[in-house]
Amino acid sequence: MSSKFKRLLKLRNLMNRKRPRFLRHLWWKFAKFDEVWRKPKGIDNKMRQKLKGYPPVVSVGYRGPRLVRGLHPTGRKIVIVHNVKELEKVDKEKDIVYIASTVGGRKRKEILEKASKLGVKIANP
């Protein structure tokens, strides 16, 4: 992994820590509104107008560096595996494996055994 890549991963981590929680407009006023993000679309909506005193709105500037977007914190590409056959296609140097949530106990055990033989890193054993 190059020093530029490591620097970008560190930068992404810093940006993630500084990024605010994006909350739905008026979530504090009505119990029926979850805190889940919804884009404010009203013509007079103060949040959409980005006025002072209102929660921040999702925008381009909060995004992380393009080269490390969607990567695991170790800098490896995330690969979701459902069976042993898919595990054999994984590059152990560049990829990190997540076993799919739909995989049961028996198959999970087989995947873990095969991964240890191949030397593949599994993020959720």
The CB density around residue 52, as the number of other CB atoms within 10 Å, is: 5
Q: Report the pLDDT value the prediction gives residue 44, as an integer from 0 to 100.
A: 96
Whether 106 contacts 124, CB under 8 Å: no
Q: Which two tokens stand for residue 6?
A: 């490591």
> Which regions of the chain are under pLDDT 50?
none
Q: Report the pLDDT value the prediction gives residue 11, as an integer from 0 to 100.
A: 95
What's the pLDDT tens digit per position in 57-73?
Answer: 999 999 999 999 999 99
